[in-house]
Structure 1
Amino acid sequence: MTEKNLAFVAQGGKSLTAADSFAVVQTELPKPQSHDLIVKVEGFSLNPVDEKRRTSLVDQALILGYDAVGEIVALGDQVQNFSIGERVIYAGTTQRAGSYQRYQAVATNLVAKVNQEAPLNELAALPLVGLTAWELLFERLGFIPEYKANQGQTLLVINGAGGVGSMLTQLANWAGLTVLATASPKNNDWLIDHGVHVAIDYHKDIVDAVHQSGFKQLDAIAALYNPVPYMPAMAELIAPFGHIGTIVKPTAPLDLSALLAKSVSFNFERMFTKTDYNLNVDSTGIILSNLLALYFKGQLSASVTTSLSPINLTNLKTGLTTLSAGHQVGKIVLSGNFEK
Structure 2
Amino acid sequence: MTTDDRAVAAATPTETIPAVVSRAGGRLDGPDSLVDATIAAPGAPTGHDLVVEVQAVSVNPVDVKVRASGNSGGEERVLGWDASGTVLAVGEDVTLFRPGDEVFYAGSLERPGSYAAQQLVDERIVGPKPSTLTHAEAAALPLTSITAWEALFDKLGLTVDSTGSLLVLGAAGGVGSILIQLAKALTGVRVIATASRPESRAWVEALGADAVVDHGADDLDQQILAASPGGVDYVFTSQSKGRIPLFTEVVRPFGEIVAIDDERDLDLLALKSKAISWHWELMFTRPRYGYDLEAQHRALTRIAELVDAGRIRTTLTQALAPLDAARLREAHRIVETGHAVGKIVVSRA
Give the structure-1-normalised TM-score: 0.93
Q: Once the two structures are superposed, what CA deviation does each residue of 1:28-80 show, in whole Å capped at 9, x if it has no partner?
A: 32021221110000001000000100111332431110100001111112222
Among 152, 170, 187, the residue aligned to 2:181: 170
In the alignment, what sits opposite 2:86? 71
How far residue 335 of structure 1 moved from its aligned partner, in angstroms, is 1.0
In the alignment, what sits opposite 1:200? 213
How many Å separate the matches in 1 of 2:258 and 2:93? Answer: 38
One-letter amino acid of the structure 2 residue matched with residue 157 of structure 1: V
Q: Does 1:153 align with 2:167?
A: no
Among 310, 321, 332, the residue aligned to 1:309: 321
Q: Does 1:219 align with 2:236?
A: no
Q: Once the two structures are superposed, what CA deviation does each residue of 1:256-290 show, in whole Å capped at 9, x if it has no partner?
A: 22221222110111110111122121101010001
How many Å separate the matches in 1 of 2:170 and 2:132? Answer: 31
Unaligned runs of 5+ in 1: none
Q: Does 1:210 align with 2:221?
A: no
One-letter amino acid of the structure 2 residue matched with residue 65 of structure 1: G
Unaligned runs of 5+ in 2: 1-11
- Does the residue aligned with 1:27 lie in a helix, a strand or coil? strand
- Does the residue aligned with 1:243 lie in a helix, a strand or coil? strand
Q: Once the two structures are superposed, what CA deviation does each residue of 1:163-187 show, in whole Å capped at 9, x if it has no partner?
A: 1111111111112210001111412
Among 185, 200, 203, the residue aligned to 1:190: 203
How far residue 314 of structure 1 moved from its aligned partner, in angstroms, is 0.8
How far residue 98 of structure 1 moved from its aligned partner, in angstroms, is 0.6
Among 14, 22, 28, the residue aligned to 1:10: 22
How many Å separate the matches in 1 of 2:35 and 2:201? Answer: 40
Structure 1's 264 and 38: CA in aligned 2 closer, same or farther, altered over 3 A? same
Moved segments of 4+, more than 6 Å: none
Q: Once the two structures are superposed, what CA deviation does each residue of 1:135-161 show, in whole Å capped at 9, x if it has no partner?
A: 1111111212x4xx22x3110011110
How far residue 304 of structure 1 moved from its aligned partner, in angstroms, is 0.8
Is the 2:130–2:307 contact (alpha carbons within 8 Å) kept by the matching residues of 1?
A: no
One-letter amino acid of the structure 2 residue matched with residue 246 of structure 1: A
Structure 1's 185 and 9: CA in aligned 2 closer, same or farther, altered over 3 A? closer
How many Å separate the matches in 1 of 2:25 and 2:312? Answer: 38
Moved more, 119-128 or 13-22: 13-22
Give the structure-2-normalised TM-score: 0.91
One-letter amino acid of the structure 2 residue matched with residue 17 of structure 1: D
What RMSD in Å do the two structures reach over aligned CA positions?
1.5
In the alignment, what sits opposite 1:318? 330
Kindly report which structure 2 residues correspond to 1:80-99, keeping only aligned pairs within 5 A, or say none.
80-99=95-114
Q: Does 1:283 align with 2:295?
A: yes
What is the identity percentage for the equivalent residue pairs of Structure 1 and Structure 2?
A: 34
Kindly report which structure 2 residues correspond to 1:286-297, keeping only aligned pairs within 5 A, or say none.
286-297=298-309
One-letter amino acid of the structure 2 residue matched with residue 278 of structure 1: G
How many Å separate the matches in 1 of 2:130 and 2:183? Answer: 25
Is the 1:166–1:330 contact (alpha carbons within 8 Å) kept by the matching residues of 2?
A: yes
One-letter amino acid of the structure 1 residue matched with residue 49 of structure 2: D
How far residue 23 of structure 1 moved from its aligned partner, in angstroms, is 3.1
- Does the residue aligned with 1:241 lie in a helix, a strand or coil? strand
How far residue 19 of structure 1 moved from its aligned partner, in angstroms, is 2.2
